[in-house]
């Protein structure tokens, strides 16, 4: 595997791990909130499975995360990151692509629309407005900084620990919470596979929201629920890989 650097139009350098494949198809990964290209090893496991099936893989750290350049973490920035990574893959000889995105990364995947991407696999996708208990997630100091200055730092807790912290803004939290479902899903242009856990109340809410909006996605899109699985789906990662590979075989044959 090769470590690569991809430059976005705004001059941000994205760190990535690339493994070529035998054909012209590739899977591009989009990680979750303040995570990195490994996604707590989930993406490493999935990338291994996809490569074994004949797909090239590209795992990137979004800007402001992992080993990529510093940036405020927003969906808008991640949309540009994905478009840049997709264009890089096409230049490397992989003009037919899928995006596998998780959690917060699914927003960028749904909004980016890279021309070379023919299908999406989204795990734990955000598909509409959601309410989150930010006071239970961030400290009082962080919430006060967001209120007063619009920005705050969040210490990096990823296993690689290549950065001290990431920076989020009020826009970041709005990106998480304030999504218009008709706008978000109605703009999608490729068949999409949604995969969810159902282990707690929040996951159940995500599934219910996705069911409401499924008809807004392109024809042939599908929703799968892995019963008893956790949000990260690490405990059912083999099932995720199996579902995704069957999906790719139809929508992006290797």
Its domain, for residue 15, covers 2-129+180-251
Averaged over 102-119, what is the pLDDT?
A: 97
Q: Does a structural domain hold residue 145? A: no
Q: Does a structural domain hold residue 173? A: no
pLDDT of res. 2: 94
User: What pTM did the predictor assign?
Assistant: 0.96
pLDDT of res. 9: 97
Averaged over 152-161, what is the pLDDT?
A: 92
User: In terms of Cα–Cα distance, which of 4, 17, 19, 7 is closest to 160?
Assistant: 17
pLDDT of res. 39: 95
Q: Does a structural domain hold residue 115? A: yes
Averaged over 70-85, what is the pLDDT?
A: 98
Q: Does a structural domain hold residue 227? A: yes
Q: Does a structural domain hold residue 196? A: yes
pLDDT of res. 1: 78
The more confidently predicted of residues 77 and 234 is 77
Sign of CA dihedral 222, 228, 234, 236: negative
Is residue 67 left, alpha or beta, with left meaning phi > 0 and alpha meaning psi from -120 to 50? alpha
pLDDT of res. 41: 94
Task: State the total domains in the chain.
Answer: 1
Q: pLDDT digit string (tens) for 162-213?
A: 999 999 999 999 999 999 999 999 989 999 999 999 887 788 899 999 999 9
pLDDT of res. 202: 81
Q: Does a structural domain hold residue 211? A: yes
The CATH number covering residue 40 comes to: 3.40.50.1820
Is residue 27 left, alpha or beta, with left meaning phi > 0 and alpha meaning psi from -120 to 50? beta
Q: Does a structural domain hold residue 205? A: yes
40 and 124 Cβ atoms separated by less than 8 Å: no
Q: Does a structural domain hold residue 84? A: yes
pLDDT band at 161 (very low <50, low <70, confident <90, very high): confident
Averaged over 37-62, what is the pLDDT?
A: 97
Neighbours of 159 (CB within 10 A): 10
Sign of CA dihedral 89, 95, 98, 101: positive
The token pair at 98 is 């899928």
């Amino acid at each position: 595997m090769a470590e690569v650097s991809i430059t976005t139009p705004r001059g941000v350098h994205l760190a990535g791990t690339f493994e070529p494949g035998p054909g012209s198809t590739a899977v591009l990964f989009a990680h979750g909130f303040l995570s990195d290209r490994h996604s707590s090893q989930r993406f490493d496991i999935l990338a291994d499975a996809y490569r074994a099936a004949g797909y090239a893989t590209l795992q990137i750290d979004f800007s402001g995360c992992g080993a990529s350049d510093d940036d405020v973490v927003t969906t808008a920035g991640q949309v540009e990151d994905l478009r840049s990574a997709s264009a890089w893959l096409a230049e490397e000889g992989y003009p037919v692509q899928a995006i596998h995105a998780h959690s917060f990364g699914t927003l960028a995947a749904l909004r980016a629309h890279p021309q070379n991407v023919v299908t999406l696999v989204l795990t734990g996708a955000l598909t509409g407005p959601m309410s989150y208990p930010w006071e239970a997630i961030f400290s009082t100091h962080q919430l006060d900084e967001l209120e007063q200055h619009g920005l705050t730092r969040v210490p990096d807790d990823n296993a690689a620990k290549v950065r001290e912290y990431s920076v989020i803004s009020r826009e970041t939290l709005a990106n998480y919470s304030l999504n218009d479902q008709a706008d978000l899903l109605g703009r999608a242009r490729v068949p999409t596979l949604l995969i969810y856990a159902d282990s707690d109340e929040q996951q159940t809410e995500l599934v219910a929201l996705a069911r409401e909006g499924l008809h807004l996605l392109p024809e042939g899109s599908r929703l799968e629920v892995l019963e008893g699985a956790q949000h990260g789906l690490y405990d059912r990662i083999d099932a995720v890989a199996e579902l995704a590979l069957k999906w790719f075989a139809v929508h992006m044959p290797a």
